[in-house]
């Protein structure tokens, strides 16, 4: 019979939950994970990882279409949608299996089922309405993640109106697609389908695409998307979706107040997420829920003693790496480590894996000014970088924002090839509280894309060399 008494139980086996469990086990805590569906959570199974596999296939197709520019002639090339989707699912399956191995290696006990609080230090586990186990622990960490948000009149049906799940496993490629929402999820799907030849229309209620990004980066990205053939409507709402036959009719309302109909084969709803707060036994506890997310303090403690929450369940930014870091902070604090520091949201990078890629960390130029900073801003274009030109990727830019008085790096913003890999250089710099002086004195290898990071810093202080 499986053990039922633990030092710590994690409810949810996603990138927040399984990382928290492994770290807890490393710290000597007897640990269990309760997972109702699949280890690795949405990220590994239906989010971060399989979408990147799809986008990689789209990138390969893009290179085939432009092979002549690199000296190759490719004739008769065709795509196999089934194999593209199958590869994505296999990648997800491989990594989910890897999480199972890691938990076993670290002697974390895994329970298959739905976990719910059942009194102080108690957790009931059920599966398909049947009792699986009654567990106890001094510490219970809720890491149940989130799900796609829906809007009245725009409910997905799984056939013609999709959420991210259906969009990842299409049985056939639509000729036309409406993407509602231009955040990271919406734009990544828009990029994938457009690269594979679908007529894509993006509708965004805010006045620009990728609205959390720096305005310059957002504007640059939009031009590239439109150059690729995307149709983009900003400051526009979707008032209604009607699925009929094998098509979807959308009613769009622009900022001028006028409405227009758009008929497409499929629509994707990408308007944010809401926390999985239901069926957790929160009623009658001190756990507070605000706008669909659990409220926590700087060490992930809820209002109920002994109950903690991490990841997408507790709100933005909704990022796997944020969830993992919260998990580590939470269990290290529980274990009594003295050097634990609260999460600094300003040091969390954001990445969008569209074409071109977008990545950022810290304050945008506008936010820095709003916060009262006098700023120095540096910019450097991809066209001025030898490696970018050699790669055939001359479209992009790097932008850095500094405090004019102290030299503190306030924010860094990028658009272009491989910027989701490059951004970590600035994340490290911010975490180390680096100023412009150290960044300017750092030697960057040549020829690399990273040289643009150096040049952008130099540009902020009137010392740019190559542009």
pLDDT attached to residue 142? 98
Query: Under a CB-based contact definition with an 8 Å cutoff, are residues 9 and 123 in contact?
Result: yes
What is the three-class DSSP state of 211? coil
Query: Looking at the structure, do residues 17 and 138 belong to the same domain, yes or no?
Result: yes
Residue closest to 241 by CA, chosen among 266, 204, 275, 205: 266
CA distance 425 to 429: 6
Query: Under a CB-based contact definition with an 8 Å cutoff, are residues 268 and 189 in contact?
Result: yes
For the whole model, what pTM was predicted? Answer: 0.94
CA distance 71 to 361: 37
Domain boundary residue, one of 271, 291, 321: 271
Quick: pLDDT tens for 277-291. 999 999 999 999 999
Report cis status (omega within 30 of 0) of the bond before 356: yes
What the block records as the tokens of 19 is 């990382």
Query: Looking at the structure, do residues 23 and 105 belong to the same domain, yes or no?
Result: yes
Determine how many CB atoms are found less than 10 A away from the CB of residue 239.
12
Query: Looking at the structure, do residues 127 and 265 belong to the same domain, yes or no?
Result: no
Return all residues near 208 (Cβ < 8 A) that are at least 6 apart.
Answer: 215, 218, 219, 222, 234
CA distance 392 to 382: 10
In a domain, 292, yes or no: yes
Query: Looking at the structure, do residues 363 and 326 belong to the same domain, yes or no?
Result: no
Domain boundary residue, one of 249, 271, 293: 271
Query: Under a CB-based contact definition with an 8 Å cutoff, are residues 75 and 65 in contact?
Result: no
Query: Looking at the structure, do residues 132 and 217 belong to the same domain, yes or no?
Result: no
CA distance 201 to 181: 10
Q: What is the CATH number of the domain that holds 397?
A: 3.30.390.30
In a domain, 125, yes or no: yes
Query: Looking at the structure, do residues 328 and 372 belong to the same domain, yes or no?
Result: no
Query: Under a CB-based contact definition with an 8 Å cutoff, are residues 314 and 330 in contact?
Result: no
In a domain, 258, yes or no: yes
Residue closest to 427 by CA, chosen among 414, 440, 441: 414
pLDDT attached to residue 47? 84
In a domain, 341, yes or no: no
Q: What is the CATH number of the domain that holds 235?
A: 3.50.50.60
Query: Looking at the structure, do residues 309 and 362 belong to the same domain, yes or no?
Result: no
In a domain, 465, yes or no: no
Domain boundary residue, one of 271, 286, 306: 271
In a domain, 154, yes or no: no
Query: Looking at the structure, do residues 142 and 185 belong to the same domain, yes or no?
Result: no
Query: Looking at the structure, do residues 262 and 311 belong to the same domain, yes or no?
Result: no
What the block records as the tokens of 158 is 């799984």
Determine how many CB atoms are found less than 10 A away from the CB of residue 146.
22
Residue ranges of the alpha helices (H) in 308-418? Answer: 320-334, 365-370, 386-391
**Residue range of the domain that includes 25:** 5-148+274-334
Query: Looking at the structure, do residues 116 and 33 belong to the same domain, yes or no?
Result: yes
pLDDT attached to residue 215? 97
- The total domain count for the chain is 3
Burial (CB count within 10 angstroms: exposed 0-12, middle 13-18, buried 19+), residue 73: exposed
Any idea which residues carry the catalytic annotation? 446
In a domain, 414, yes or no: yes
Query: Looking at the structure, do residues 226 and 285 belong to the same domain, yes or no?
Result: no
CA distance 163 to 157: 9
What the block records as the tokens of 402 is 């500094």
Query: Looking at the structure, do residues 248 and 102 belong to the same domain, yes or no?
Result: no
In a domain, 170, yes or no: yes
Sites in the chain below the pLDDT cut of 50: 1
pLDDT attached to residue 2? 63
């Amino acid at each position: 019979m499986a053990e039922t008494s633990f030092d710590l139980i994690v409810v949810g086996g996603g990138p927040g939950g399984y990382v928290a469990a492994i770290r807890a086990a490393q710290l000597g805590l007897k640990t269990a994970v309760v997972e109702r569906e699949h280890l690795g959570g949405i990220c590994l199974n239906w989010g971060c990882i399989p979408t990147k596999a799809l986008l990689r296939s789209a990138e390969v197709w893009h290179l085939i279409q432009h092979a002549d520019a690199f000296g190759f002639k490719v004739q008769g090339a065709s795509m196999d949608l089934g194999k593209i989707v199958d590869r994505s699912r296999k990648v997800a399956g491989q990594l989910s299996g890897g999480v199972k191995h890691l938990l076993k290696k670290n002697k974390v006990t895994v329970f298959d089922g739905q976990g719910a609080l059942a009194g102080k230090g108690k957790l009931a586990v059920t599966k398909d309405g049947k009792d699986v186990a009654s567990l106890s622990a001094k510490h219970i960490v809720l890491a149940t993640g989130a799900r796609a948000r829906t809007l009245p009149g725009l409910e997905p049906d799984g056939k013609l109106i999709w959420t991210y799940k259906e969009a990842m496993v299409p049985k056939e490629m639509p000729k036309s697609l409406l993407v509602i929402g231009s955040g990271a999820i919406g734009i990544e799907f828009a990029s994938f389908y457009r690269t594979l030849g679908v007529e894509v229309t993006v509708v965004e209620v805010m006045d620009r695409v990728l609205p959390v990004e720096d305005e310059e980066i957002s504007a640059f990205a939009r031009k590239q998307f439109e150059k690729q053939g995307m149709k983009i409507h900003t400051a526009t709402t979707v008032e209604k979706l009607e699925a009929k036959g094998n098509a979807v009719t959308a009613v769009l309302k622009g900022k001028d107040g006028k409405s227009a109909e758009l008929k497409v084969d499929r629509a994707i709803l990408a308007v944010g997420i809401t926390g999985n707060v239901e069926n957790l036994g929160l009623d009658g506890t001190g756990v507070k829920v605000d706008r669909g997310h659990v409220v926590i303090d700087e060490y992930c403690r809820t209002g109920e003693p002994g109950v903690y929450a991490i990841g997408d369940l507790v709100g933005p930014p909704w990022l796997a790496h944020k969830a993992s870091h919260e998990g580590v902070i939470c269990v290290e604090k529980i274990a009594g480590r003295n050097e634990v520091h609260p999460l600094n949201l300003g040091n969390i990078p954001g990445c969008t894996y569209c074409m071109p890629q977008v990545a950022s960390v810290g304050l945008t130029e506008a936010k820095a000014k709003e916060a009262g900073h006098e700023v120095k801003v540096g910019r450097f274009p991809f066209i001025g970088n030898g490696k970018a030109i050699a790669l055939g990727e001359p479209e992009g830019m790097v932008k850095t924002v500094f405090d004019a008085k102290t030299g503190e790096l306030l924010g860094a913003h990028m658009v272009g090839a491989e910027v989701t890999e490059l951004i970590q250089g600035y994340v490290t710099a911010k975490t180390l509280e680096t100023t412009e002086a150290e960044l300017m004195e750092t030697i960057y290898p040549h020829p690399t894309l990273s040289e643009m990071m150096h040049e952008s810093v130099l540009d902020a202080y009137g010392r740019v060399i190559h542009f």
